């Protein structure tokens, strides 16, 4: 739970929602697919040691379910899944399979108790695979039945749900449930759903399947709406959100689990089990193990989110609610000052105090002028070492 005193969001959201604030009252679970869908990001390869380390961090982060991987991809993936299953984590460990008996068998062999079984459901995807609707339904029923017969809990993962014919989608989902699937994932594979469409898809599925079947929302961020769509899906009745750390994934990535969790709790009053104060750590771990860097302005986890260069903002540095929507401690980050072209006198004073440096008041204007000159010349920030050399050239 976020300490309310660390949120500086005002009352506008509560006023806008009225009686809907804090609803849905049912718990929202978070299903992490960093180790499978996240790894589909171009150029990312996670070895078994990487996957186990990330799984442990996800568990500490409070993720409810961890999709450990797709064992049919490689022997290394299967090895990683066995190691994660053996790690005695608190989170449920899930596998991933296509609607094929061989995939289901591979999931069973690594020791997981639950799996998603995926199959395309849109005519666009069926044409790409050379499948017809009848064959597709037959495969789904066969794979789900096979998994259930082998003791697996199944969530049917309806690929490209948002572009499927609604009548056929109803048939496939219903047949999957009849075959033994306990849960259903509505999947926005190409990231085309606006929030209203996400709500519509979940509402339709709830009407078709009833209230006893848990619904997942799995969305991608091609139009920058993955967080908004996931929230709309939750408000329409989805009880599970699938996503990744940092939104890592194919093309424009997946919904960011932390982004959805933070927005639900801070802006909608809906709490969750994530330990958001550990976000900075798990975000950095996934970046390091995956070999990529985030945009500095990435919400929640970008390095610039709590870094202030502007002198106008630095003059308010002593009053955090004036310059940020929530305290950095909420996500395990820290507030800092950076020096550059846009700095002001307050920026210099704060940075000097941070570094334990004493400078006569009369020199501050000259130092600021030099900081601005260097920042403009470098087209970037002035480092702490460069600042020290301005104060005492002998240190240069």
- Assess if residue 25 is contained within a domain: yes
According to the model, what pLDDT value does residue 394 have? Answer: 57
In a domain, 15, yes or no: yes
> How sure is the predictor about 76, in pLDDT bands with cuts at 50, 70 and 90?
very high
Tell me: do 274 and 318 sit in the same domain.
Answer: no
User: Rounded to whole angstroms, how far apart are CA atoms 132 and 189?
Assistant: 19
Last-in-domain residue among 237, 258, 290: 290
Q: Is residue 301 part of a domain?
A: no
pLDDT of 78 higher than 80: yes
98-135 pLDDT, tens digit each: 999 999 999 999 999 999 999 999 999 999 999 999 99
Is residue 191 located within the same domain as residue 219? yes
- Residue 48 sits in the same domain as residue 10: yes
Cβ atoms within 10 Å of 160's Cβ, excluding its own: 21
**pLDDT of the residue at 379:** 93
Q: Are residues 241 and 144 in the same domain?
A: yes
What does the pLDDT look like over 17-27, one tens digit per residue? 999 999 887 78
295 falls within a domain? no
- Same domain? 13 vs 151: yes
Helix (H) or strand (E) holding 376: helix 364-378
| Interstrand relation of 65-69 and 215-219 (parallel, antiparallel or unpaired) | unpaired
Q: Mark whether 208 and 322 lie in a shared domain.
A: no
The model's pLDDT over 279-310, given as tens digits with 9 standing for 90+, comes to 999 999 999 999 999 999 999 999 999 999 89
**Is 296 part of a structural domain of the chain?**
no
**Is residue 342 in a domain?**
yes
Q: Which of 299, 300, 230 is nearest to 264 (CA)?
A: 230
Domain that holds residue 363: 307-395
Check whether residue 202 and residue 278 sit in a common domain.
yes
Average pLDDT over residues 77-88: 96
Give 273-282 pLDDT, tens digit per residue.
Answer: 999 999 999 9
CA-CA distances (angstroms) from residue 286 to 46, 92, 247, 293, 390? 10, 20, 11, 10, 37
Domain boundary pick from 257, 290, 323: 290
Which among 221, 256, 290 is the end of a domain?
290
- Altogether, the residues listed in the chain come to a count of 396
Asked whether 47 and 54 are in contact (CB, 8 A), the reply is no
Q: How many domains are there within the chain?
A: 2
pLDDT at 393 over 80: no
Give 285 or 395, the one with higher predicted confidence. 285
**CATH of residue 173:** 3.20.20.70
Q: What rounded mean pLDDT belongs to the chain?
A: 95
Q: How far is CA 316 from CA 175, 199, 232, 349, 390, in A?
A: 59, 40, 35, 13, 25
What is the rounded distance in angstroms from the CA atom of residue 32 to the CA atom of residue 273?
A: 13
251 & 363 share domain: no
For residue 395, pLDDT over 90 is answered with no
Rounded-to-integer distance, Cα 396 and Cα 385, Å: 8
pLDDT in tens, 201-257: 999 999 999 999 999 999 999 999 999 999 999 999 999 999 999 999 999 999 999
Same domain, 57 and 134: yes
Task: Give per-residue pLDDT as tens, 15-60.
Answer: 999 999 998 877 899 999 999 999 999 999 999 999 999 999 999 9
Examine the domain organization and report whether 129 and 11 are in the same domain.
Answer: yes
Q: Report yes or no: 142 and 180 within 8 Å, Cβ to Cβ.
A: no
Render pLDDT for 360-371 as a digit per residue (tens, 0 to 9).
999 999 999 999
Q: Give residue 317's pLDDT.
A: 85
Rounded percentage of the chain residues whose pLDDT exceeds 70:
99
pLDDT in tens, 137-149: 999 999 999 999 9
266 and 312, same domain (yes or no) = no
Rg (CA), the chain: 24
Q: Cα–Cα distance between 287 and 280 in angstroms, integer? A: 11
DSSP string, 32-86: E-TTTTGGGSTT----HHHHHHHHHHHHHHT-SEEEEE-TTS-HHHHHHHHHHHT
Domain assignment present for residue 366? The answer is yes
The yes-or-no verdict on residue 175 having pLDDT over 80 is yes
Does a structural domain hold residue 87? Answer: yes
Mean pLDDT (whole number) for 85-99: 97
pLDDT at 172 over 80: yes
324 with 200, same domain: the answer is no
- Calpha distance 23→85 (Å, rounded): 34
What integer pLDDT is reported at residue 297 of this predicted model?
Answer: 93
């Amino acid at each position: 739970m976020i300490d309310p005193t660390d949120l500086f969001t005002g009352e506008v959201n509560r006023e806008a929602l009225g009686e809907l604030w804090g609803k849905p009252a049912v718990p929202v679970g978070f299903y992490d697919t960093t180790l499978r869908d996240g790894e589909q990001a171009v150029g990312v390869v996670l070895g078994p040691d990487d996957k186990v380390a990330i799984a442990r961090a996800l568990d500490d982060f409070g993720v409810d379910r961890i999709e450990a991987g797709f064992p049919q991809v490689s022997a290394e993936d299967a090895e990683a899944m066995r190691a994660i299953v053996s790690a005695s984590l608190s989170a449920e460990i899930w596998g991933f399979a296509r609607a094929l008996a061989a995939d289901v068998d591979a999931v069973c062999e690594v020791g997981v108790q639950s799996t998603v079984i995926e199959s395309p459901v849109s005519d666009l995807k069926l044409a790409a695979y050379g499948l017809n609707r009848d064959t597709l339904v037959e495969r789904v029923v066969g794979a789900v039945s096979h998994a259930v017969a082998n003791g697996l809990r199944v969530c049917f993962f309806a690929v490209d749900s948002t572009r499927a014919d609604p009548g056929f989608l109803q048939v496939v989902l219903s047949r999957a449930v009849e075959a033994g699937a306990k849960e259903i994932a509505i999947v926005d594979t190409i990231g085309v759903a606006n929030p209203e469409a996400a709500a519509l898809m979940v509402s339709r599925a709830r009407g078709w399947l009833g209230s006893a079947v848990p619904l997942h929302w799995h969305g991608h961020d091609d139009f920058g709406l993955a967080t908004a769509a996931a929230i709309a899906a939750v408000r329409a009745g989805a009880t599970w959100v699938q996503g990744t750390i940092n939104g890592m994934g194919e093309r424009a990535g997946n919904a960011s689990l932390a982004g959805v969790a933070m927005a639900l709790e801070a802006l909608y009053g809906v709490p969750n089990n994530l330990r958001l104060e550990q976000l900075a750590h798990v975000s950095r771990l996934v970046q390091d193990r995956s070999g990529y860097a985030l945009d500095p302005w990435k919400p929640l986890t970008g390095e610039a989110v709590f870094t202030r260069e502007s002198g106008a903002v630095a003059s308010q540095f002593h009053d955090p609610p004036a310059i940020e929507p929530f305290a950095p401690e909420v996500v395990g980050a820290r507030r800092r000052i950076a020096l550059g072209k846009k700095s002001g006198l307050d920026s210099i004073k704060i940075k000097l105090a941070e570094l334990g440096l004493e400078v006569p008041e009369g020199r501050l204007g000259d130092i600021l002028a030099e900081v601005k000159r260097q920042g403009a010349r470098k087209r970037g920030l002035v480092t702490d070492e460069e600042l020290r050399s301005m104060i005492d050239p002998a240190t240069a």
